[in-house]
Structure 1
Amino acid sequence: MAIDTGDTTWMLISTGLVFLMTPALGFFEAGLIRLKNSLSVIMQTMTGMALLSTLWFIVGFTLVFAPDVNGIIGDLQWFFFNNVPYNDSVVWAPTIPGVNFATYQMMFAVITPLLITGAFAERMKWNAFFIFIIVWSLVIYYPLAHWIWGGGWLAKIGVFDFAGGIVIHTSAGMAALASALVLGRRKGFGPEIMVPHNLPLAAIGATLLWIGWFGFNAGSALASGALAASALLATQIGACTCALVWILLSWKRTGKPTVSAAINGAISGLAGVTPTAGFITGQWAFVLGIVLGFASYYGIVLIKERLKIDDVLDVSSVHGITGIVGSLWIGLFATQAINPIGPNGWLYGNPMQLPIQALGVGVGALMGFVGTFVILKILDYTIGIRAKEEEEDLGLDISYHQEVAYENK
């Protein structure tokens, strides 16, 4: 199929929007943690963008999307972006230049490991973080992305994931849970250290993430047209209904509706609608947003309040639980009336799609949790992963970066 100028323009815009999400993640996280550690998470996201983009350029794209080797990984024909076409397409995106598709997918590979930073914020050593995101990308993200998006074994049995519910949110969410368990709780864990230092900054980050998510989900149509428009609608209505549920639940439990509930609710909805945005109607996205709101809100109550697991920014719920719910939603409510090359779910005559999706979710969750647990245990044994007590007391901004966020405070 010939390169389409309109589709190429749409994908260039979508790539720019997704690029915006990584610094936005840094702002969002920085505003929600304590002042003395706020620069550390911005440094992690900005460094991560540089490092993981380079890794994707060298080896990531070819391992994920090059021709399949025994269902496990791609071959090395696109090593260092060699032979990635500029004037022709690749099979995964037939109407845009291959290099456009490769660069768009780079942004997905960048943000996925960086989502985990919200779980180990305020207590992970800098050198451990640097090595961790490289190893995590190589042994977890690249194989899992190939298995589902690159024609690997999960794709062959019919697992679908429109924009990353399994590949991104389930894997990162379960990795966050493993990270919190391995690193242990922050010193002084409790309500007194969980007060956001700058909610306006967090709200700006959430807003930029929301905008970028339109490129994330609608862009995953890989062409301008009806599918992109449908995915955009599903993204917006899923985020809005989930945010409303969070606001109302927060209002009921605490007596006060909060900004932090509104922005976390929106992000939960955006994450949960991601895998299914290109497969369901707007009406089912509305219902999904409600389900996601309850699941993610009470997931935090269980994990942080009842089990006392110190996932600082609740990545395991906001991304992990929502990614699981959204991915299973495909097995129930996907319809080929929205996406002719997607599946039908149980409601539309294909009950087997649900167990197939469940298998994909199980693999993604297992890869994310067990793989992360093993990686961190090895790093802890070799170089150590937890900041020293005095570094944690002083704050990671000064301890590791010799900078402060607000000079006059």
Structure 2
Amino acid sequence: MTTKPFTLRWGIIGTGGISTRFSKDLLVDPSTRGVYDVAHKIAAVGSRSVASAQKFLDTIAASDIAPFNWGPAHGVLDGAKAHGSYEEVYNDPNVDAVYVGTPHVYHHANAKAALLAGKNVLCEKPFTLDVAELDELIAIAKEKNLFLMEAVWTRFHPIAFAVQDVLKSGKLGKPVRMSADFSMNFEPDTRPDSNRMIDPKLAGGSLLDQGPYPALWAMLAFHHHPDNKDADPKVVASYQRIYERSGVDAASHWIVEWKGLGQAHCVTDMAASGYNDASVVITCRQGDLVLNFPPWKPTKLSIVPHGIYEPGTIQERSVQEFTVHPGDGMHYEADEVARCISKGLKESPRVPLAESRITQGWLDAVRRAGGSVLKDTVGTAGK
């Protein structure tokens, strides 16, 4: 007897690039990634006008290219409503969970409104502008008995689980330090003042936009390691290079220490390219674990011997190659949300709220210690 999958009905907030990618991944046949217990429907889309929301729905429905053509042919978009406001999505009785894909300065207000309306929430990274905003969202979710998760999609990719399996196996020995670098030349001088990476009003700069990716690899390498005893790792040093045109950070560096285990050096840069072969390097006692660029979707996990002056037990280089199943890879986090809600869970064991709070605290610390125009910016908690 075949069990019918649990189907989660999504409301999409925002119609920009990230919402497009997420929504298109909901159109991919779950069986192509070995998923049979959960499924997805897009029940509603909210934008500034009904026309804009309908255009979004028409665009994703019109795709005749695999793997995104499966969904429209199998009812994923059936009955989807185009709403001319976010509030109509929050109040739509056919919506179970809201995906917040708006610019990150609006994450708190959008997620808060959705929770207050009784909807479960998946909120894009960075979760909020500051910890105070996040604390308010967590309190509302708990009061309302609702599911809440930060959309750290890379944590659900097969390569992320493989990294942890290697580290937990002990074959590399203890991790002692790591670097995680998301540097990518966005050519900021060619962008308009209103660009999300440039505009202080949108909390532009590299830290908030790119910072969650180095942070996630640091958490997987150290915080989840069996030998970790430090429940609240802190930023012990940081530096920001300022983009003078608008005063946001062009680059941010910070070091986090897990007492008794090791340190992570995290880097973001929107004006320089990163090293393609080694976006993440985890140095362990017996050898190194290396991931290639990009840090949001690496494809190669390399085990690399130490140099001749510090030999370890790893003698030969090995490489494992990974790909996400058909789609962009955002469907993995959607599957997690559906599974958690189907089981009555209010947060994900893979991305618990306590861990999102830790990494949000790092971003706060780096921003407030730096010299950008956002240094003293306070979010909208309590408003």
Scaled by the length of structure 2, what TM-score is found?
0.30
Which structure has greater strand proportion? 2
Structure with the bigger RCO (C-alpha within 8 Å, sep 6+) is 1
TM-score (norm 1): 0.28
More helix by share: 1
